Structure 1
């Protein structure tokens, strides 16, 4: 995952003449991209990994081939949230990239093993430009480095985010068509199971996977197997440490059921419920509780079969890139529509097509698109707007134009993907999507949505297929009133958090982190904002104490 507002593309210059003790550079092992506003010691600890850099440098040199090659320079790329990545330069000028996962990247062995197998499959079987893996180890105890690692080819070209702002809409659309072509190739092969992909040698208890080709034929793919999911939703917010069904699953209903059971297991067993990133809960707002989260998830499980689409083509299992943003796409700077490499396949999953089928992140789509295939229009009062508002209107117009072109092209060239994208706009998809993160937030609004669902019941896919059974969940008037009250409180909590975020502007700690040079300023501004918020919202000492307790940031 990227934090674009923290991006600093200058590599850390730690070059020294060979021979050198690379282990003496603490920066290699620590998170150095920014500072965390809350629980910083913990956040830094889960992003600190100590390993033998001297040995990793040797592995990097050996991966190139000649015994005479020696590593003479190591540059650290800006930290990601889950990995550390380095550029190794040899005395013969050759360069390779090395990647070491942080403790928070995923479960030992599985995350690295799946990433490597996925890169191989996408590169060799699906024809996508992915860097070739030259050496790797998913078992820290069995290598000289003392950590899991992947060494791969260095991708040529430039990251898309460096040139995207200067590309006109024609160039951008040409790139969109290129990416759409790769998506088409990813859809040339579906899998018989849901989970994540591995080499069969890394999953001795699993059978080799069965693939369905575009012509309807089924074949065994020798050397590859489907195993436990490495998706972030099975790892983040304390989930990684708990035991629950991680797959693989044979049907989409089994997979979506496992999601609900996963959230219930985490709600009931995690030591402390995660704080919401979008709401501030205090007096007069909704207050999360384990019992309400569990009850809502049980309702989701009762309704699930009615949400699933009848069209199996959009619920079949496909392999997809999990984070197709501009920093993960490398292009030819002379011909930006030519993609030279797509990186960061960690946490890739084999999921229903409707879970994959969203507009690529590099389109900078913010959800404001109407869904129409008609060309967007500038506001009628555009000429009366001030320059700042005109700039915003033009930016939104360009984004929506590009999204419209993408959707039109997808409809013309890849109708099944378009149908999956259309399903994502349905109530059914909304109800499945929101259930995936109820450990963290959203149970009050989810229950309110169930209350409204009675009016849409006959339109759900599984209802007509089941002969239009009655709505399976009944609410008394008192229960409905309580649900509406909780929903109103949740919306108020979200509005308070929105106002807080707006008041901080560029200092807002996205994902809890800010640039190091903004840390002190952000802390001071949050302190001021806290005082202002408590003074504005509190009507008693008890309420002041409650807002103090609800404040999500460290002093």
Structure 2
């Protein structure tokens, strides 16, 4: 009976809870596999008998994978990483990460050494990667408490590692694979110097495979032409809308009041995608250096950065869904470091604590300290990059680079009932056309292929501003509840988060009690209740 209970904990998500739609989140993460066969595979990967294994325990659960520690008699450990059933693309996500880990490791990026893996049907009953255990520990939440000098030490090392990535020559944009893991019919471009072993193949990013997108017969790369890199993600979304699109509410329920609780038409998004495709060829830089493919870490956040006791980086983990993209699209500050919403950070001025910092009350000091930390990280990441990583800095200092990356990402993202981000991007591109479009041979700027009436520009701007206000309010409420944006909270906080959510719901409904229709809509679309996510 105890073994059954232990195995249940191995197969199911136990790190936290969700205050809404928890059954769906748990089902997405439930993976039953053959524990004994995984132990056999682990022991075989280091030429040991299974009898040398002393323990098998779950040590981590992330958004896409579960990690187990398999300890041996001599004190060594093997880590087994198994993707959830909901992790896409099946096979390709694991195959790409294995090849990427080996490739970047060969260029001096500290990553776990892969000991074995399987992307096909096997006795374990699941895909897996077996890898060595890195020394050190993940920074985790300690990142927010580091001293200035400790932060600077980590930032400097990150930039130095990125220098290595930016100097690697790649033949195309796409994801990396061992050629043996791709079918003969899958498009691929061999990586020079790998003797045909490694190649660039289809994009392994989730947005290419989300929902029914994996069933579409479309071009998923690789691409050695930056125009195709820009266009095909939007063509992917157009193909999906034509095959599966139907009116739906915005996925984020807090947005629905802004749209008068009306379902949004996928044709409106399709029209924006067509407009984007007309703009895309003009987004390609004329500078050839900006079009060179670059591979970067896809999720550089505290839990994926391992450090030693003296804050030396010992490894970067979780390269799943990695992409090589043209430099002008690959560039950008990792979310962990950027502070783009802050005016002083954008002005690239050395941050300082307020003059009256010592006289502030405790809450004010905490807010000022956090603001300083964000500005400090943003400033010095940029400063180290400017001084040491010229290819990245050259891309970052392009005046319209951030806008180009934003519109590319918004055109690539799966449509879930929200048209405004891409629509406002198109407005900003048209407004900055003289800075974006390459001049013709006679020096003239071609006319922007998209013309918008001022009334439409104002409508989009008003919607964008409204959604930003919603985002700000939801961030505040999530902070009060102690939950992540998807409703996740640690186990020990679940009951209190549920109770706080109940009280906020009562207050929200009471505030609209004089309007029966609005009360009904508020209740029906309340963002912290269980709901049908496919409506």
TM-score, reference length from structure 1: 0.85
CA contact (8 A) 2:253 2:525 kept: no
Out of 260, 281, 297, which is 1:321 matched to? 297
Partner of 1:127: 108
CA contact (8 A) 1:131 1:153 kept: yes
Out of 333, 339, 361, which is 1:359 matched to? 333
Any idea what SS the aligned residue of 2:68 has? strand
Partner of 1:289: 265
Counterpart CA distance in 2 for 1:198 and 1:284 is: 43
Q: Which moved more, 1:301-310 or 1:166-175?
A: 166-175
Any idea what SS the aligned residue of 1:462 has? coil
Describe the shift of the 1:428–1:207 C-alpha distance in structure 2 as closer, same or farther (beyond 3 A). closer
Counterpart CA distance in 2 for 1:491 and 1:278 is: 17
1:17-416 superposed matches below 5 A: 25-67=7-49, 69-124=51-106, 126-139=107-120, 141=121, 143-161=122-140, 163-165=142-144, 167-203=146-182, 204-205=184-185, 209-211=189-191, 221-236=195-210, 239-240=213-214, 242-268=216-242, 269-270=244-245, 273=248, 275-277=250-252, 279-282=254-257, 285=260, 287=262, 288-333=264-309, 335-336=310-311, 338-363=312-337, 365=339, 367-368=341-342, 370-379=345-354, 382=357, 385-416=360-391
Counterpart CA distance in 2 for 1:301 and 1:526 is: 42
Describe the shift of the 1:493–1:525 C-alpha distance in structure 2 as closer, same or farther (beyond 3 A). farther
CA contact (8 A) 1:37 1:509 kept: no
Q: CA deviation at 1:30?
A: 0.7
Partner of 1:7: none
Q: CA deviation at 1:241?
A: 5.5
Q: CA deviation at 1:386?
A: 3.0
5+ residue gaps, structure 2: 531-535
Describe the shift of the 1:231–1:283 C-alpha distance in structure 2 as closer, same or farther (beyond 3 A). closer
Any idea what SS the aligned residue of 1:248 has? coil
Q: CA deviation at 1:489?
A: 4.2
TM-score, reference length from structure 2: 0.88
Which deviations, in whole Å up to 9, do the C-alpha atoms of 1:492-524 show, x marking residues without a partner?
355345434423514334223222333333334
Any idea what SS the aligned residue of 2:349 has? coil
Q: CA deviation at 1:202?
A: 1.3
Counterpart CA distance in 2 for 1:283 and 1:371 is: 29
Describe the shift of the 1:417–1:80 C-alpha distance in structure 2 as closer, same or farther (beyond 3 A). same
Counterpart CA distance in 1 for 2:447 and 2:304 is: 47
CA contact (8 A) 2:265 2:417 kept: no
- How many residue pairs align between the two structures? 523
Q: CA deviation at 1:177?
A: 2.0
Any idea what SS the aligned residue of 2:353 has? coil
Q: CA deviation at 1:89?
A: 0.8
Q: CA deviation at 1:435?
A: 2.5
Partner of 1:473: 450
Aligned-CA RMSD value: 3.1
Q: Which moved more, 1:43-52 or 1:524-533?
A: 524-533
Q: CA deviation at 1:469?
A: 1.8
Describe the shift of the 1:136–1:452 C-alpha distance in structure 2 as closer, same or farther (beyond 3 A). closer
Check if 1:536 corresponds to 2:517. Answer: no
Any idea what SS the aligned residue of 2:57 has? strand
Describe the shift of the 1:390–1:507 C-alpha distance in structure 2 as closer, same or farther (beyond 3 A). closer
5+ residue gaps, structure 1: 1-13, 212-217
Q: CA deviation at 1:407?
A: 1.6
